[in-house]
Structure 1
Amino acid sequence: MNSSQKSDEFYEKLKGQLYETTSWPAEYLYKFIVKSDIKKIALVETIFDNMGAVINTVESKNGKYTSVSVNLLMRDPDAVIEKYKEVAEKVEGVISL
C-alpha cells in the first residue's frame, strides 16, 4: 500500500468519525507541528486567512519546532479534510495531529 492510499484511508476514517461525533457546522481545532521557520508558520496561517480563525503558536522547549493551533467554524467534515490536505500539500514537513 502506498502513502497515497494510506492517506485516503485515513481521511475517509476521519470523515466518518467527524460525522458520527459532531453536529455540523461546528468549531474545529486543527493542530500542526512545523520546524520553527517563520515562513512555514506564516504559510500555515495564510491557509486559514480570512476565515475567522483563532491561531496560536507555541515554540518547543529547544526552539526547533513550533506547534500551530487553529480554531475555527467549519461547515462539515469535507471542509475539515480539505484544509488538512491543503496544509499537507503546501507546507513541507508539516505534521498534522
Structure 2
Amino acid sequence: MSSKNDTEAFYTKLKAQLEDTTQFPALYLYKFIVPSSEDKIKQVHQIFDNIGAVIETKQSSKGTYTSVSITVNMKSADAIIEKYKEASAVEGIISL
C-alpha cells in the first residue's frame, strides 16, 4: 500500500467484510511473512502475547523469511484491524 489513504481504505473495506461475514467473538487467522530475524519474529509474538493466541512459524526454504500464522479469538472487527495496525510497525512485515 502506497499511501495512508490506501491503507485506511483497505482497513475500511476489511472492517465491512468482517462485519458482514463474521459473528463475533470469532477465531481469526492472521498470516504474516517476516524477515527471518529473531528480533522481528519476537516483535510479532509480543503483539499477540497474553490474548490466547496459537502461533506457528515456518521458515522459508532458503531461510530468508519466516511465515507466522496466528489463530486467536477476537472480539470485533475493530480488534482484528488494531492488531494488523500494530503488526505493520514491524519492519519488513508482509500481511497476507
Work out whether 1:39 is the aligned partner of 2:51: no
For structure 2, the residue ranges without an aligned partner over 5 or more in a row are none
String of CA shifts for 1:64-88, please: whole Å, max 9, x gaps. Answer: 0000011000000000000000010
String of CA shifts for 1:41-86, please: whole Å, max 9, x gaps. Answer: 0110011000000000000011100000110000000000000000
Letter in 1 for 2:24: W
**1:79 corresponding residue in structure 2:** 79
Deviation at 1:93, TM superposition (A): 1.1
Distance of 1:51 and 1:24 partners within structure 2:
16
For structure 1, the residue ranges without an aligned partner over 5 or more in a row are none
**1:59 corresponding residue in structure 2:** 59
Equivalenced residue count is: 95
User: Which SS does the other structure have where 2:69 is aligned?
Assistant: strand
**% of aligned pairs identical?**
57
Work out whether 1:18 is the aligned partner of 2:18: yes
**2:70 corresponding residue in structure 1:** 70
Two-structure CA RMSD over aligned residues (Å): 0.7
User: Which SS does the other structure have where 1:49 is aligned?
Assistant: coil
**What's the TM-score, normalizing by structure 1?**
0.96
User: Which SS does the other structure have where 1:33 is aligned?
Assistant: strand
